Amino acid sequence: MNTVIKTYDEKMSKSVKHLETEFAEIRAGRANPAVLDKLRVNYYDTPTPINQIAAVSITEARTLTIQPWDMSMLRAIEKAIQTSDIGINPQNDGKVIRMVFPPLTEDRRREIVKEIGKMGEEAKVAVRSIRREAMEKLKAMKKNGEITEDDLKHGEKKIQEITDSHIKRIESLTEAKQKQIMEI
CATH number at residue 63: 3.30.1360.40
pLDDT for residue 170? 96
For residues 92 and 120, membership in a common domain is answered with no
**Cβ pair 147, 141 in contact under 8 A:** yes
For residues 119 and 73, membership in a common domain is answered with no
Q: Where are the beta strands (DSSP E) in 9-163?
A: 40-43, 46-49, 54-60, 63-68, 91-92, 97-100
Asked if residue 80 has pLDDT above 70, the reply is: yes
For residues 111 and 177, membership in a common domain is answered with yes
For residues 56 and 7, membership in a common domain is answered with no
Distances in Å between the alpha carbon of 28 and those of 35, 81, 105? 10, 17, 11
CB neighbours of residue 60 within 10 Å = 12
For residues 85 and 126, membership in a common domain is answered with no
Domain endpoint, select from 100, 132, 158: 100
For residues 170 and 128, membership in a common domain is answered with yes
CB neighbours of residue 31 within 10 Å = 22
- What total number of domains does the chain contain? 2
For residues 111 and 176, membership in a common domain is answered with yes
pLDDT band at residue 27 under the 50/70/90 scheme: low
Give the residue among 92, 106, 101, 95 at the shortest CA–CA distance from 36: 101
For residues 111 and 156, membership in a common domain is answered with yes
pLDDT for residue 31? 77
Q: What is the pLDDT of residues 8-18, one digit of tens each?
A: 999 999 999 99
Give the residue among 81, 83, 84 at the shortest CA–CA distance from 68: 81
**Cβ pair 159, 135 in contact under 8 A:** yes
Domain endpoint, select from 65, 100, 135: 100
For residues 47 and 70, membership in a common domain is answered with yes
Asked if residue 30 has pLDDT above 80, the reply is: no
Q: What is the mean pLDDT of the chain?
A: 89
Range of the domain at 79: 33-100
For residues 116 and 78, membership in a common domain is answered with no
Across 170-184, average pLDDT: 89
> Percentage of the chain surpassing pLDDT 70?
98
In this structure, which amino acid lies at residue 48?
T
CATH of the domain at 9: 1.10.132.20
Instruction: Output the CA angle 112-113-115, nearest 5 degrees.
Output: 60
Domain endpoint, select from 45, 70, 100: 100
